[in-house]
C-alpha cells in the first residue's frame, strides 16, 4: 500500500467532478496522479478503457501508465494515455470520414514535425517577402507561430497591414498543406477542435468513450488545449482531474496560458482545488531560498513549500567577472567539493553556454566532461539531482530581455528546485559592478 500524506490522500480520493491539484516542486505529483487513477478503477468509478490521461510529453504519459499498471495489474493496458497532439492525431484517424468532410483532405495526410513546418513556412515566405514591408523573414515566421505581443506592437503591425498579410499567408499555407497532403501538430489540434465543436454526435461519442480525463502539467495548457478539454468533458457529469504548478509555468513562448491554472474557477466555476506543499526532494535551505525568490512574482497562487528532509543543505554562490572565470569556478567545484559527480547537473539558460563551458573544461581534463549532466533550465523541468550548479546568472542572459519577467523568474525557480542537497550559483556582476537583478533578488553576495 502506498503511503500518502494528508494533502495527497484528499486529492487522490475517487470523487468525480472537476478538481485541480496545485502540486509544488518535489511534492509527489506523479504519485498522487497514480493513486487517483488506481482509486478511480478500484472503486468502480470508471473502467481502465474509460480513462484518458493527457500530458505534454510521450515519456511522461508512458511513465504514468506503467506505474499505474504496476499497481493494479495488466488491467491498466486499457487506459488511453499520450500527448495532446498524439491524442488528436488518433482522434482524426478514428473519425476519418468526418475529418475528410470537414478538412478538405481526400487521403489521410502525412505528419510533418515542427522543424519541417518551419522550413516549409520559410520557403513560402521567401516568395512573399515583399508583402511584409522589409520585416525579417524569421520575425514573420515567429509571428505566425505566436502573436502574443503587447497592444502597442499589435496596433502598429495592424496599422501597417502586417496582421492582414499574416492572416492571408496562414490561409494560403493551410491550403498548401491540404493540396500537398500534409498536416502539422497545430493542425491536428485545430481539426479535432473543429470536429468536436461542429459535430454533436462525435462530441457525445467522445464524452461517452472517455468518462474520466486526467491532465498532467496543466500549467502548460494553451488556448487550444483548453478548448479541447472543455469539448471532451461531459457537460452534465464532468470528471476532470487537473494537476500542475503555476510556479513552474515556463512555456508562455509556446502559447501556454498561466491564467488557466491561477484563475481556474473563471473557466470551471465548480472546480475543487487542492494544494500539495510538502516537499520530499530538497533540503530546507534550498526550499527557503526558492520560496523567497518566487514570491517576487505577483501573478501566482499562494502556497509555502515545507521540507520533509530537514536542514543541512549547502548553498554557495560565486560572483565572477567573465565566462572564463565562471568556468574556473565550476572546475573548482567539481574537483574540490565532495559531491557525487554522477548525480550532479550543470544548468544554464541557453544552449550556447554549454558549448563554451564544456570545451573549456575539456581542455584541462576536468572530471565532469562525460560525467555530469548538462542541460538548459527548460529541459531540467521534472528532474532532480543531489547537486546542481547554476551557471551564467547574468542580466545579459536571464532574465532574457525579450521574455516576460515573471516567466523568467519561474524558469530560474525551476532550476533552483532541481537540487536535493547542494546548490551552487555562479553569477556575473552588472556593467556598473552591482549585482544582477536575479542575484540581488536571491540575496547573493558580490564576492
The answer to whether 422 and 314 have CB atoms below 8 angstroms apart is yes
Please name which of 314, 294, 442 lies closest in space to residue 389, comparing C-alpha atoms.
Answer: 314
DSSP calls for 61-92:
HHHHHHHHHHHH-GGGGG-EEEEHHHHHHHHH
Q: pLDDT in tens for each of the 447 residues of the chain?
A: 568 999 999 999 998 999 999 999 999 999 999 999 999 998 999 999 999 999 998 888 888 778 877 877 667 788 999 999 999 999 999 999 999 999 999 999 999 999 999 899 888 888 776 776 677 777 777 777 776 666 777 787 788 777 888 888 889 999 999 999 999 999 999 999 999 999 999 999 999 999 999 999 999 999 999 999 999 999 889 999 999 999 999 999 888 999 999 999 999 999 999 999 999 999 999 999 999 999 999 999 999 999 999 999 999 999 999 999 999 999 999 999 999 999 999 999 999 999 999 999 998 777 787 899 999 999 999 999 999 999 999 999 999 988 999 999 999 999 999 999 999 999 999 888 999 999 999 999 876
For residues 399 and 407, give the distance between their C-alpha atoms in angstroms, rounded to a whole number: 9
Q: How far is CA 90 from CA 23, 78, 84, 85, 99, in A?
A: 30, 15, 10, 9, 11
Our CA angle for 71, 76, 81, nearest 5°, is: 115
Q: Look at residue 129 in the predicted model and tell me its pLDDT.
A: 67
For residues 434 and 401, give the distance between their C-alpha atoms in angstroms, rounded to a whole number: 18
DSSP state, residue 289: H
Quick: pLDDT tens for 364-388. Answer: 777 787 899 999 999 999 999 999 9
For residues 424 and 315, give the distance between their C-alpha atoms in angstroms, rounded to a whole number: 6
For residues 443 and 143, give the distance between their C-alpha atoms in angstroms, rounded to a whole number: 37
DSSP calls for 190-236:
HHHHHHHHH-HHHHHHHHHH-SEEEESSGGG-BHHHHHHHHHHS-SS
Q: Look at residue 348 in the predicted model and tell me its pLDDT.
A: 98
Q: Look at residue 1 in the predicted model and tell me its pLDDT.
A: 53
DSSP state, residue 438: H
In this prediction the pTM is 0.93
For residues 80 and 144, give the distance between their C-alpha atoms in angstroms, rounded to a whole number: 32
Contacts of 70 by beta carbon, 8 Å cutoff, 6+ apart: none
Residues 185-208 as b/e (b if ≥16 CB within 10 A, e otherwise) read bbbbbbbbbebbeebeebbeebbe
The answer to whether 261 and 246 have CB atoms below 8 angstroms apart is yes
Q: What is the largest CA-CA distance in the chain?
A: 67
Instruction: Please provide the distance, in angstroms rounded to a whole number, between the alpha carbons at the two ends of the chain.
Output: 50
306, three cell numbers: 515545507
Reported as type and span, the H/E element at residue 386 is strand 385-393
Q: How far is CA 142 from CA 118, 147, 166, 245, 255, in A?
A: 9, 8, 11, 27, 12
Amino acid at each position: 500500500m502506498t503511503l500518502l500524506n494528508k494533502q495527497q490522500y484528499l486529492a487522490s480520493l475517487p470523487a468525480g467532478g472537476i478538481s485541480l491539484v496545485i502540486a509544488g516542486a518535489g511534492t509527489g505529483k506523479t504519485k498522487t496522479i497514480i493513486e487517483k487513477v488506481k482509486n478511480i478503477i478500484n472503486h468502480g468509478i470508471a473502467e481502465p478503457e474509460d480513462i484518458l490521461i493527457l500530458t505534454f510529453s510521450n515519456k511522461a504519459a508512458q511513465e504514468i501508465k506503467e506505474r499505474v499498471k504496476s499497481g493494479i495489474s495488466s488491467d491498466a493496458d486499457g487506459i488511453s494515455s499520450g500527448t495532446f497532439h498524439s491524442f488528436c492525431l488518433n482522434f482524426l484517424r478514428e473519425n476519418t470520414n468526418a475529418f475528410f468532410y470537414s478538412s478538405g483532405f481526400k487521403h489521410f495526410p502525412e505528419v510533418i514535425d515542427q522543424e519541417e513546418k518551419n522550413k516549409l513556412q520559410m520557403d513560402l515566405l521567401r516568395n512573399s517577402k515583399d508583402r511584409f514591408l522589409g520585416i525579417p523573414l524569421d520575425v514573420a515566421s515567429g509571428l505566425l507561430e505566436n502573436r502574443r505581443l503587447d497592444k502597442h506592437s499589435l496596433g502598429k503591425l495592424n496599422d501597417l497591414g502586417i496582421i492582414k498579410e499574416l492572416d492571408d499567408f496562414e490561409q494560403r499555407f493551410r491550403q498548401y498543406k491540404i493540396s500537398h497532403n500534409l498536416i502539422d501538430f497545430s493542425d491536428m489540434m485545430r481539426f479535432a477542435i473543429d470536429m468536436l465543436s461542429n459535430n454533436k454526435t462525435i462530441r457525445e461519442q467522445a464524452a461517452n468513450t472517455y468518462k474520466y480525463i486526467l491532465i498532467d502539467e496543466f500549467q502548460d495548457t494553451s488556448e487550444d488545449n483548453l478548448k479541447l478539454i472543455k469539448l471532451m468533458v461531459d457537460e452534465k457529469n464532468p470528471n476532470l482531474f487537473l494537476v500542475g504548478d503555476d510556479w513552474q509555468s515556463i512555456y508562455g513562448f509556446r502559447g501556454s496560458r498561466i491564467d488557466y491554472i491561477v484563475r481556474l474557477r473563471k473557466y470551471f466555476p465548480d472546480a475543487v482545488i487542492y494544494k500539495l506543499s510538502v516537499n520530499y526532494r530538497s533540503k530546507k535551505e534550498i526550499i527557503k531560498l526558492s520560496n523567497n525568490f518566487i514570491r517576487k512574482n505577483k501573478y501566482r497562487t499562494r502556497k509555502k513549500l515545507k521540507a520533509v528532509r530537514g536542514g543541512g543543505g549547502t548553498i554557495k554562490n560565486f560572483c565572477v567577472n567573465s565566462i572564463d572565470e565562471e568556468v574556473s569556478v565550476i572546475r573548482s567545484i567539481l574537483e574540490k567539493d565532495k559531491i557525487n559527480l554522477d548525480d550532479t547537473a550543470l544548468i544554464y539558460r541557453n544552449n550556447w553556454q554549454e558549448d563554451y563551458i564544456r570545451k573549456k573544461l575539456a581542455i584541462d581534463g576536468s572530471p565532469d566532461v562525460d560525467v555530469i549532466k548538462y542541460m538548459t533550465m527548460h529541459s531540467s523541468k521534472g528532474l532532480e539531482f543531489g547537486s546542481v550548479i547554476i551557471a551564467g546568472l547574468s542580466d545579459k542572459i536571464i532574465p532574457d530581455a525579450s521574455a516576460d519577467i515573471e516567466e523568467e523568474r519561474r524558469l530560474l525557480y525551476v532550476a533552483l528546485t532541481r537540487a536535493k542537497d547542494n546548490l551552487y550559483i555562479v553569477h556575473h556582476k552588472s556593467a556598473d559592478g552591482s549585482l544582477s537583478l536575479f542575484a540581488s533578488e536571491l540575496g547573493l553576495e558580490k564576492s
